[in-house]
Chain A
Amino acid sequence: MPVHSKLEKFEDNWQTSMGGWFPNEKVVLRGKDVFTELNDKPWMEYLLFAATGKESPKIARLLEAMWVICTSFPDPRIWNNRVSALAGTARSTGVLAAAGALAVTEATVYGLKPIKGATDFLYRADQRLTKGENLEQIIKAELKQFRSIYGYGRPIVNADERVKPMMEFARSIGCGNGKFVKLAFEVEDYLSATRLKYQINIAAVCAALLADEGLSPEDFYHMATLAFTAGAMPCFIDACKQHEGGFFPLRTSRLNYQGVEQVRHWRCKA
Chain B
Amino acid sequence: MDILDILLSASFWAAAIRIASPLIFATLGELICERAGVLNLGIEGIMVAGAFAGWMAVYSGLGLWPGVAVAMVVGMGFGAVHSLLTVPFGLSQHVVGLGVTLLATSSTYYAYRLALPEVTSPPKITAFQPWEIPVLSDIPLIGPALFSQTPLTYLAFILVAVVSLVLYRTPLGLALRAAGENPAAVAAQGLSVTGLRMGAVIVGSGLMAVGGAFLTMSAFDSFFFEMVNGRGWICIALVVFGAWKPGKALLGAVLFAAFDALQIRVQQTPLGADIPYQIFLMTPYVLSILALIVMSRRAEVPAALMVPFNKGER
Same complex origin of A and B:
no
Residues of A within 8 A of B (CB): none
Residues of B within 8 A of A (CB): none
